[in-house]
Structure 1
Amino acid sequence: MPEPIRQFTAAALPVEVYASEAEMGRAAARSAARVLREAVAARGSARAVMATGNSQFAFTDALRAEDVPWDHVTVFHMDEYVGIDREHPASFRRWIGERIERRLGPALVEYIHGDAPDAKAECDRYEELLRSAPIDLVCMGIGENGHLAFNEPFEADFDDDRWVRVITLLPESLTQQVGEGHFPDIDAVPPTAISLTIPALLAAAHVQVCAPEQRKAAAVAAALREEISTACPATILRRTPHATLYLEPASAGALGADTPVAGSS
């Protein structure tokens, strides 16, 4: 089991920094596997929400080596672009299908249909599925502008009564999608997405956040240093003791080895 090279708590949030992205992924995978095994042992089944994107590669790769009773696990994902089908190269349904469903073989994957004829009705349908039973685990990342799922700065609602909404993406999020190689230019990125809200993401019994790479360093520092507010949605993690933030040296680089963070211990 990889051991963190730095470990601290920011307010209520445990933070673990690992020596490499691969070690970070293995540590997160080991923790996720334990949560899923315990849920299956207790109830006979487990339910998990999985993020997509480049930041989740090390984690999902490491999951393949873990002992997980996937035939008792239902998987959800947390967002999808409005108007694209599941075969689009940037579709999050396609990502989940290739990296989770085909590789790991969960009992069921519940997909968000971004190309549904009525996006609001699709939000209602997916929210009903999410609320139908406890969520044991949410595995997510942090956006370059501090968003969680697609809950954007100043638009996120920490007390939203909805669990699934149509979100309008900010220019920073559009640019991130291009930078990650999912679209050729900003004009090709769909302007809206169906996304789980902040309360939905944090409703799980366990939340783990994998945020590797230098391009996430500023967002990580903001999440741990700035006032808790929707200006940086990821700051809400500091009020989430059932979450763990997993970093590696590049993504933790803006913190500095001895830099105090808000509410650290």
Structure 2
Amino acid sequence: MQVVILPQPFDVAQYAADFISKQIRHKPSSVLGLATGSTPIATYQALIELVRQGAVSFQHVHTFNLDEYLGIPATHPQSYRHFMNEELFNHIDIDVARTQVPDGMSNDPIQACTRYEQAIQDAGGIDLQLLGLGRNGHIGFNEPSSSLASRTRIKTLTPATVADNARFFAPGEFQPHLSITMGIGTIMEARKILLLATGDTKASAVKTMVEGALSAACPATILQMHPQATVVLDSAAASLLEMREFYQYIEHENQKLQANGRPY
């Protein structure tokens, strides 16, 4: 696990956008796994600007989103399909037919999960998976106690996650308590993983993810086992890490290697 600590959330977003754009330039037909939530918005804004400048193109990129609420249509303002359209897809040169989000209104959600897994395989697997981090250590909607070998499936959201997401729904509005999510096993099959976390509210989960024991109690600890997982943090999210000075030293050495022409 590579840990990158940067001063501010803006720096995290710029680093992530550069990381993703390098992947696309390296392989224009890249298959990207994408995430929703507040953390990746700044990264998506930076990617939109890179597309506007002509620095990167999504013309041949294929995307799969991590998850979707079960029980609200794609047109609902809080659906993750709507989020992705508004925050990224509508502003870049991507073919919407190449953008996949789980079907939250399927008549057969279990079969929809199976089809989603197959679609990822048919696309050749995910080259780069973008992740956020829940305050309880969840990735996607894989809540604590989720199987570390799980596949795309229906999950019940914990009360903590429901409470975290309540701010996105109007008082009295139906708020889903179920979701379709890529499994942890599905996520771990991505060739590269890029996880972003900012703010002191994520500091405890970050410490457990990076320095804690591998455990389903904090699903994100599984990233310790991935050969190409990069965790990008702002100083607030990294504030509880006991070895943060070491991580900063290692990243400094990595940057020197890259400056000397280390292959991407």
Unpaired stretches in structure 2, ≥5 consecutive residues: 252-264
Q: Quick check: 1:117 aligned with 2:88? A: no
Contact 1:55 1:213 in 2 (8 A): no
Deviations 1:88-129 (A, max 9, x none): 221111011112210123222122110111111211121111
Map 1:92-107; keep pairs closer than 5 Å.
Answer: 92-107=80-95
160, 163, 167: which is aligned to 1:175?
163
Between the aligned partners of 1:105 and 1:200, the Cα distance in structure 2 is 27
**Deviates further, 104-113 or 230-239:** 104-113
Could you say which residue in structure 1 is the equivalent of 2:147?
157
134, 139, 147: which is aligned to 1:148?
139
Structure 1 position 256, deviation (Å): 5.8
Secondary structure in 2 aligned to 1:54?
coil
More helix by share: 2
Contact 1:17 1:252 in 2 (8 A): yes
Could you say which residue in structure 2 is the equivalent of 1:127?
117
- Give the percent of matched residue pairs that are identical in Structure 1 and Structure 2: 30
C-alpha change, 1:258 and 1:25, in structure 2 (3 Å) is closer
Could you say which residue in structure 2 is the equivalent of 1:218?
204
Structure 1 position 87, deviation (Å): 2.1
19, 26, 35: which is aligned to 2:23?
35
Q: Quick check: 1:53 aligned with 2:43? A: no
Structure 1 position 184, deviation (Å): 3.9
Count of paired positions: 242
Contact 2:238 2:244 in 1 (8 A): no
C-alpha change, 1:121 and 1:253, in structure 2 (3 Å) is same
* RMSD, aligned α-carbons: 2.1
Between the aligned partners of 2:220 and 2:159, the Cα distance in structure 1 is 18
Residue 120 of structure 1 aligns with an amino acid whose one-letter code is I
Between the aligned partners of 2:243 and 2:2, the Cα distance in structure 1 is 16
Could you say which residue in structure 2 is the equivalent of 1:4?
none
Residue 30 of structure 1 aligns with an amino acid whose one-letter code is D
Residue 209 of structure 2 aligns with an amino acid whose one-letter code is A
Q: Quick check: 1:208 aligned with 2:208? A: no
Structure 1 position 64, deviation (Å): 1.7
